[in-house]
Chains A and B, each alone.
Chain A
């Protein structure tokens, strides 16, 4: 079978009858079998279920029934979205074998459109991390170079797409957990404006920051998925009813750049690629404008204070009483303390403890309210920036994918890899990451486009223009035998 290059091409083949859903699923399962032993992108696989759903869709197509917009397309779901049929573990011992009695809205929506869930993808435990090495199960390896991380926390999702297990994945982004893996794995992703995608069924890390989003091979795939995934969900009290703003022409668009931010980038290929992209946009008639986010230097502490506090609070529910792991003891609090000690990994414990410290009565005003106020200042910076530009670009990350086990002893160093992605999370603005070529080692590089609220369509149009010149779809491991 000549595998379709991207989701849209797969849909065209399905509609034309040159491919069946069963063939697509078999292809995906074949790749998983061949590669996932080493790559480790998945935590759960439902081969039989996927085959059966593919058969059903093929039959329906034959009998001329109306099918959903994604009918026959295999996909994966980050394992922090609850699914009724498959376990949901959040890559944590705390939820080993946990079977949710309900499914995330996005999971149901995608399946209702005929997409075929292959399985659940690996992540840093409870989405806390930037490399997927913090998974309690096993790390995931980057299909482009298996000695390197795929990024995190949506590393399993990104690796799955890059290796061709299906045509897209849905992950989550709190401070860069979609965008950084997308950049590391040569993919496209969108962290949407707050409220555009339903978060019902997404296991919380920090509710004021968590966003779901798709990971795709191409920009046009991302455009289709954005359209399919968006929509009001009455179960999500934050779900927006607004339409997205129509896409604007690149001609005359003011594109902002952050000079001081760029100076932090030591990896030359990233700086060169970034400049090349600017050239492309100029050629399309965009105007490049220098902008500032004056409070960018406090984005890191602001983000981490807020995440620690919200996480510490939200993780209190895991205590061995109603679901998940329990370490048996004769006394209640001993049971809870042992359960949480053994159920949570190091990073999770770290954030819970740090967050509890920040929330203590003597600290909460200084650190948590302080961070919440700083966040307002950052939002205001963005609002001011969007008076002077229509969107702005930054490299998605300061480096390409780094090697596994290179964290060293300082966990705070890991926090720095989110430097470019944090501010858009704090401000709730939509952000796209799209590939901008590879470096000398053949490692993919990503560029981030950040827009004003509800301007996703414009960001995607700009991403399409970038992809035309700088895209690397043909290099994707999925199209090269799954090997990087």
Chain B
């Protein structure tokens, strides 16, 4: 079963959701490749998986939960040291267009 080709609009939508700026060449390239990728995945449609529970994650023991106990936090200067731009004890980011926070 061959899928419909992925359109430019679809790649732009996906790029917007993923917050990645793409060049024109990249848009074309990824549209082509995604079409093939979806083709490759379409074989999944053909197997009988009705009523089969999904494997979301795989552990052989129950995933551990923790008690509500305080653990040491990072010293602030260590946390901020990683920040590309910091100010007033926080991580600084440029304003959003329109100014709404």
Interface residues of B in 1-59 (CB under 8 A from A): 6, 10-11, 14-15, 17-22, 26, 30, 33-34, 36-38, 40-41, 43-45, 47, 49, 52-59
Q: Considering the chains assembled together, what is the distance between the CA atoms of A397 and B17 in angstroms?
A: 36
Q: Which 9 A-B pairs have the closest CB atoms?
A: A372-B54, A326-B84, A323-B82, A337-B21, A428-B58, A373-B49, A341-B21, A375-B55, A373-B52
User: Interface code A341-383, partner B: CB below 8 Å = 1, 0 otherwise?
Assistant: 1001000011011101110100000110111111111010000
User: Is A202 an interface position by the 8 A CB rule?
Assistant: no
- What does DSSP make chain A's interface, helix, strand, loop or mixed? helix
Pairwise interchain contact B97-A412, C-beta atoms closer than 8 A:
no
A residues whose Cβ falls under 8 Å from a Cβ of B: 98-99, 101, 193-195, 207-208, 234, 237-242, 295, 297-298, 300-302, 304-305, 308, 312, 316, 319-326, 328-338, 340-341, 344, 349-350, 352-354, 356-358, 360, 366-367, 369-377, 379, 411-412, 427-428, 453-454
Closest chain B residue to A320 by CB distance?
A: B84
From B54, B59, B78, B93, A375 is in contact (CB under 8 Å) with: B54
From A242, A331, A337, B20 is in contact (CB under 8 Å) with: A337
Size of interface on B: residues with Cβ below 8 Å to A: 53
From A295, A323, A338, A349, B83 is in contact (CB under 8 Å) with: A323
Interface residues of B in 60-101 (CB under 8 A from A): 60-61, 63-66, 74, 78-79, 81-85, 91, 93-97
B residues whose Cβ falls under 8 Å from a Cβ of A: 6, 10-11, 14-15, 17-22, 26, 30, 33-34, 36-38, 40-41, 43-45, 47, 49, 52-61, 63-66, 74, 78-79, 81-85, 91, 93-97
Known contacts: A240-B60, A353-B18, A412-B36. The answer to whether A321 contacts B41 by CB under 8 A is no
Known contacts: A298-B44, A331-B94, A357-B10. The answer to whether A194 contacts B21 by CB under 8 A is no
Pairwise interchain contact A341-B20, C-beta atoms closer than 8 A:
yes
Q: Considering the chains assembled together, what is the distance between the CA atoms of A375 and B55 in angstroms?
A: 6
CB distance from A200 to the nearest CB of B (A): 12
For A360, the chain B residues whose CB sits under 8 A away are: 14, 17
Known contacts: A101-B82, A304-B37. The answer to whether A193 contacts B30 by CB under 8 A is no
CB distance from B97 to the nearest CB of A (A): 5
CB distance from B89 to the nearest CB of A (A): 14
For A329, the chain B residues whose CB sits under 8 A away are: 94
Pairwise interchain contact B44-A367, C-beta atoms closer than 8 A:
yes
Pairwise interchain contact A335-B82, C-beta atoms closer than 8 A:
no
For B96, the chain A residues whose CB sits under 8 A away are: 331-333
For B91, the chain A residues whose CB sits under 8 A away are: 321-322
Pairwise interchain contact B47-A295, C-beta atoms closer than 8 A:
yes
Known contacts: A99-B81, A375-B55. The answer to whether A370 contacts B44 by CB under 8 A is yes
Q: Considering the chains assembled together, what is the distance between the CA atoms of A366 and B96 in angstroms?
A: 35
Pairwise interchain contact A377-B10, C-beta atoms closer than 8 A:
no
Q: Considering the chains assembled together, what is the distance between the CA atoms of A387 and B96 in angstroms?
A: 59
Known contacts: A195-B60, A298-B43. The answer to whether A237 contacts B65 by CB under 8 A is yes
Q: Considering the chains assembled together, what is the distance between the CA atoms of A302 and B49 in angstroms?
A: 12
Pairwise interchain contact B84-A372, C-beta atoms closer than 8 A:
no
Residue among A234, A330, A372 having the largest count of chain B Cβ atoms under 10 Å:
A372
For B41, the chain A residues whose CB sits under 8 A away are: 301, 304-305, 358, 367, 371
Q: Considering the chains assembled together, what is the distance between the CA atoms of A328 and B97 in angstroms?
A: 15
Closest chain B residue to A366 by CB distance?
A: B45
